[in-house]
Structure 1
Amino acid sequence: MQNCLARSAALALLGVGALAIPEASAQSDPGAACTDLRNEVFAAGHVTSARVVEAAGTAPAYCEVRAIALPAINIEVRLPLEGWNGKLYQVGCGGFCGILGRGDDDGGFVNATGPGIARGYATATSDSGHHGLSVVDASWAAANPDAERDWGWRSIGETNRVAQAMIEAFYGKPSGDAIFQGCSTGGRMANMAALRYPEMFQGIISGAPALDETGLAGAGLAWIVQANTGPDGEQILNTDKVDLIGDEVMRQCDGADGAEDRVIADPRQCAVDLSSIACKDGAAGGQCLTPAERAVVEKWREAPVDSAGKTLFPGGIPEGSEPFWPTWLTGTKAGAPALNPLFAKNFGAYMAFTDDPGASYETTDFDFDRDPGRMTEAAAMYNSDDPDISAFRDAGGKMIVWHGWADAIVSPYKTIAWHEAAEKAAGGAEALGAFVRLFMVPGLDHCGIAPGAGGISQADLDPLGALEGWMESGKAPATIMAGD
């Protein structure tokens, strides 16, 4: 009730309340009420379009409103024409974002509003504050601290502000509970919401969160790229050796958890000796690893360090992630480039440093002694790994954090480290467990994008259902697996 009153007061200050459409009007002619939102006025932004979208698949008919929060955050709000459950479901976005609603193009729940509106929520998402040619494109950030700030944190609050204005105008009342869901960058945004907007969301779902963006996209990905770059500047380990490595990892580690199912339950229980597949007597065929290739894998298993041996980011590519290396680390057999090096190059060129080096930057330029200290300003905007989320706890919030153990881009070890630190900050595991639950999923790709062993993917997860049950009953979930 207090949150609803606060939202109503804020909307009144913005001048929204005077233009609100009575709820009866929306119910009697929802189509007209929808298109009338084109004329809705709110501070520091404007509506660009409003139209009715007919029911399709699991989605009911809804009013699609697109708006801009100044300077450049593109926002989409979806308002069910009938059967609104009185709540808001807001989602984050992936990579360096820049593409509005991309999550709904992939057919899953990750960073997608579809599952929310299918359950009767009003939904909201944004492009995080800029247009990008792809999610690995960071050129928008060149000498553009406003856009970096919006991507880092401000788009979360602005998307919510605009969504609440549209909800108030269309339904005649603000939303009740609000849930935020995101994975990868969206997961980073989820934790950021708990830190910067602790009273805004009553439930948060944080998947494979890129909590320490500067540590990950800076030192972490630079370590991976430099390890796999030869003196001639060419890639050392290529896709043709990935199956060889993956099969050997499974041979040595599959049974470490007591079950031989081609799924490694916890990579920390496994230590692989690659000497068994090392090339003998100078041979360099497809069925063995050269010394240089073996050195790449061994370095990938380590955390990045500086010259003094100081760990710069909790890391190491986890055992069991090998099926996903072509996407993230080595490039595919069809010729598609690996994504990790693209993220690393663009982050270093345009987002990491106060003075952007630009397109001439190469990830091999990253200096593990000098450059971590040069990312202080970026860390203040992007990073959401502060383990003290007591303000979110005090507001009554509940959070589900999930991560795949086979993630080859966003380290699951960082999520584990954050959770351990959060336990200490909260006063122990029991105290943290009262409002935060962590689920580590064996064999799962980054955000469950591609099917892993046994076909497991994001389609097998239902963190929203688990969170709803927790918020409604007060009983913490024991699983986020769909159907359990």
Structure 2
Amino acid sequence: MPFRPLRTTLVTTLVLLLTAVSTPAGATPGRHPATGDGLANLPAVTPVMACADVTGLDLGDGVTIQSATVVTTDAPYCEVRGTIAPANTIVVRLPVNGWTQRYVQTGCGGLCGNANINFPQAADCVPVAEGTVASATTDMGHQGGFDGSWAANNPQAQIDFSYRAVHETARVAKALIRAFYHRPPAYSYFDGCSDGGREALMEAQRYPGDFDGIAAGAPANNMAVQNTFHHAWNVLANRDAAGDYILLADKLPLVHNAVLGACDAVDGLADGLIDDPRRCHFDPNTLRCATGQDPSTCLSPAEATVVRKLHDGATDARGRRLEPAIAHEWGSEREWTLFVPTAQGQVVGSENFALSYLRYLADPNHPRPDYQLSDLELTAESFWRTVLPSSTYMAALDPDLTAFQRGGGKLLLWHGWNDQHISPQNTLLYYDAMRRTMGARTVDRFAKLYLFPGMAHCGGGEGPGDFDVLTPVMAWVETGTAPNRIVAGNATRTRPAYPYPTVARYDGTGSIDDAANFVPHTPHTVVRDDDSWVGQGLFSHGYQTSPRAVNGKLVL
């Protein structure tokens, strides 16, 4: 039977009660004059204690501070390393010469396993660049183990990775900040991409009071489907009956050039980028080899079928979608080397991602280290057995962010159209679900979605992929300056992006590589995202759980 989320009076009442008592994590916007970037002009604060003395702080049961040392840079900071029981490693950086009262927590990628502070698409944010923000991150409750084996018979590690570690890190880091400066952060932010984007949305959904502003990039919020059927299909759809690969990477430039030839100018400008790939209706069969044609210049019928399958995504034998429509957008073909090998016998990234989850996380109490992709049944019944129960606590698909919105929170979602890891369709469907659940006008007041043509996963790719998402979030929170334009760049080109569904259009004058020559354009007819797939009920409110670790088992 299809899974249908429960919506009970008890759940509704609880949400309303939580909403009623929620308060903003930071200060009231606009109480300080704005800077040129639209940020609040916050006075710098100096520590009230020596960095070395931080190791003596008592931050509560389960928190151990292992070291606190000054790192000498142009903007010196006190780097604090510690643990939150049972196994969450945290790193906190506290400016020692002047803290401008902002706290930024950063996420991690993949299955995490290490604690390294980085700021996805925020290097140009002035407070970050000048080193005046306090910051922190966590390894999400386990160390190493990218293959997922860390989760075997370790239910607490699974809970920490799912949602607890980020929340506990925010709690402890804020306590540390309060002790070090004798004041809490005026504003708190979260910045993450990929799994960090999932962590960002999980915070907005489960702990809406932790952060005032959240930047969630290419979120892996459909975690269980992403790391099972999506990545498994990338491999299985490209294997013949003997287990050999059908399509190899040497054919990807051929396909990409054909896609651009068919669709590059659909947006009115032939610039090597497709501003909305959903408007591209490319047919791989146009590349099928004619009699006597050099096979290096065309596709065999089997290769053309694989290209179509990789674009469309996983289905069962009856054609029912086992993931959202469009697994890989047209125009992203050069990035498909993540799952299309250069030679037979290679193990591609998608196989490793799928097996990590299928072996150790899909069935949380029964690790299956010998599981193979051939064991995955491509049926609707298998879909629910595979993605539940882990979706109920590991996915971040709840579209009801009422508590976050009422607390004054601001959300900036972003995704690259050429993302080879995570389909932008997941982000589009989540955004659509938010608007259905909360109302379009309400969502427009606190959330914006940006889509970047040609950009690959979390950056890079053929399109401009370097930009600053944190400054717009800060300005929106601190002074009420809503973001309406983000300029992305690379070595040769800059291009503006506007809140979805608005796109950039060339104004007809000057260089097409200069963002100044583009204007916003909102299509008269917005593409309607096809949300018809087996798991569409996952993008809803009411079925998420908070499991417990009991006697070595995960109890839902």
TM-score normalised per structure 2? 0.76
d(CA) in 1 for partners of 2:407, 2:384: 34
**Distance in 1 separating the partners of 2:390 and 2:195:** 15
SS in structure 2 of the partner of residue 358 of structure 1: coil
Q: Does 1:419 align with 2:428?
A: no
Q: Which residues of 2 match residues 438-477 of structure 1 at below 5 A?
A: 438-448=449-459, 450-453=460-463, 456-457=464-465, 459=466, 461-477=467-483
| Whole-angstrom distance in 2 between the partners of 1:2 and 1:199 | 6
CA separation of 1:472 and 1:198: change in aligned 2, threshold 3 A: same
Q: Call closer, same or farther: CA 1:210–1:54 in 2, change over 3 Å.
A: same
Instruction: Confirm or deny: 8 A CA contact 1:404 1:444 kept in the other structure.
Output: yes
1:121 to partner: Cα distance: 1.1
Give the conservation status (yes or no) of the 8 Å contact 2:125–2:471.
Answer: no
2:62 to 24, 38, 44: 44
The structure 1 residue matched to 2:194, chosen from 184, 203, 222, is: 184
Q: CA deviation at 1:336?
A: 8.1
CA contact (8 A) 1:303 1:315 kept: yes
The alignment-based identity, stated in percent, is: 37
Q: Give deviations 1:111-159, integer Å, cap 9, x for gaps.
A: 99997363511001011110114xx421111122211111110111111
Aligned 8 A contact 1:330 1:337 in 2: no
Q: 1:172 aligns with which of 182, 199, 208?
A: 182
Please point out which of 268, 274, 289 is paired with 1:264.
274
The one-letter code matched in structure 2 to 1:410 is: I
Residue equivalent to 2:148: 138
Measured on the aligned residues, the alpha-carbon RMSD in Å equals 2.8
Q: Which runs of 5+ in 2 are unaligned?
A: 1-21, 28-43, 490-495, 497-556
Which residue of the partner structure matches residue 240 of structure 2? 230
Query: Is contact 2:418-2:461 (8 Å) kept?
Result: no
- The answer to whether 1:398 aligns with 2:416 is no
CA distance, structure 2, for counterparts of residue 231 and residue 309 of structure 1: 20
Alignment partner of 2:161 out of 126, 140, 151: 151
Check the 8 A contact 1:182/1:189 in 2, yes or no. Answer: yes
Is 2:25–2:211's contact at 8 Å kept on the other side of the alignment?
no
The superposition leaves residues 431-475 of structure 1 with CA deviations (integer Å, 9 ceiling, x where unpaired) of 211000011111110111x3424xx22x2x111111122122213
For structure 1, the residue ranges without an aligned partner over 5 or more in a row are 7-22
**One-letter amino acid matched to 1:343:** F
Q: Which of 447, 470, 473 is equivalent to 1:436?
A: 447
Q: Please state how far the C-alpha of 1:322 moved relative to its aligned partner.
A: 1.3
1:73 alignment counterpart: 88
Tell me: CA distance 1:447–1:132, structure 2 relative to 1, closer, same or farther (3 Å).
same
- The Cα shift of 1:74 comes to 0.6
Residue number in structure 2 paired with 1:10: none
Q: 2:135 aligns with which of 123, 128, 141?
A: 123
From 376, 380, 402, the counterpart of 2:392: 380
Structure-2 residue corresponding to 1:35: 52
Contact map agreement 1:313 1:414 (CA 8 A) in 2: no
SS at match of 2:157: helix
| Superimposed CA distance per residue, residues 173-202 of structure 1 (whole angstroms, 9 cap, x where no aligned partner) | 221211011111000111100001101100
Q: Does 2:225 align with 1:239?
A: no
> Residue 164 of structure 1: CA displacement?
1.1
CA contact (8 A) 1:284 1:290 kept: no
Task: Establish whether residue 407 from structure 1 lines up as the match of residue 419 from structure 2.
Answer: yes
The residue identity in structure 2 corresponding to 1:78 is R
SS for the counterpart of 1:82 is coil
Q: Say which of 195, 213, 233 aligns to 1:203.
A: 213
Which residue of structure 1 lines up, in the alignment, with residue 517 of structure 2? none
Q: Does the CA-based 8 Å contact 2:250-2:342 persist in structure 1?
A: no
In the other structure, the counterpart of 2:47 is: 26
Which residue type is aligned with residue 183 of structure 2? K
Residue 299 (structure 2) pairs with residue 321 (structure 1): no
Code of the aligned partner of 1:221: H
Q: Which has the higher contact order (CA 8 A, sep 6+)?
A: 2
Contact 1:219 1:312 in 2 (8 A): yes
Secondary structure, counterpart of 1:152 in structure 2: helix
Secondary structure of the 2:295 match is coil
Distance 1:179 1:55 in 2: 23
Instruction: List aligned pairs for 1:73-92, cutoff 5 A.
Output: 73-92=88-107
Separation in structure 2 between the aligned mates of residue 322 and residue 463 of structure 1, nearest angstrom = 26
In the alignment, what sits opposite 1:13?
A: none
TM-score for both structures, normalised by structure 1: 0.86
Q: 2:4 maps to which residue? A: none
Of 213, 216, 219, the residue aligned with 2:226 is 216
**Which is helix-richer, 1 or 2?**
1
| Cα 1:84/1:298, change in 2 over 3 Å | same
User: How has the CA–CA distance of structure 1 residues 3 and 256 changed in structure 2, closer, same or farther, with 3 Å as cutoff?
Assistant: closer
How far did 1:4 drift? 7.2
CA distance in 1, matches of 2:331, 2:167: 37
Which amino acid in 1 is paired with 2:304? R
Q: Which amino acid aligns with 1:67?
A: G
Q: Is the 8 A contact 1:239 1:332 kept in 2?
A: yes
Find the counterpart in structure 2 of residue 9 from structure 1: none
SS where residue 359 of structure 1 aligns? coil
The answer as to whether partners of 2:205 and 2:401 remain within 8 angstroms in 1 is yes
Q: Deviations over 1:291-341 (max 9, x none)?
A: 221111111121323344433321321011112112x222468x9853222
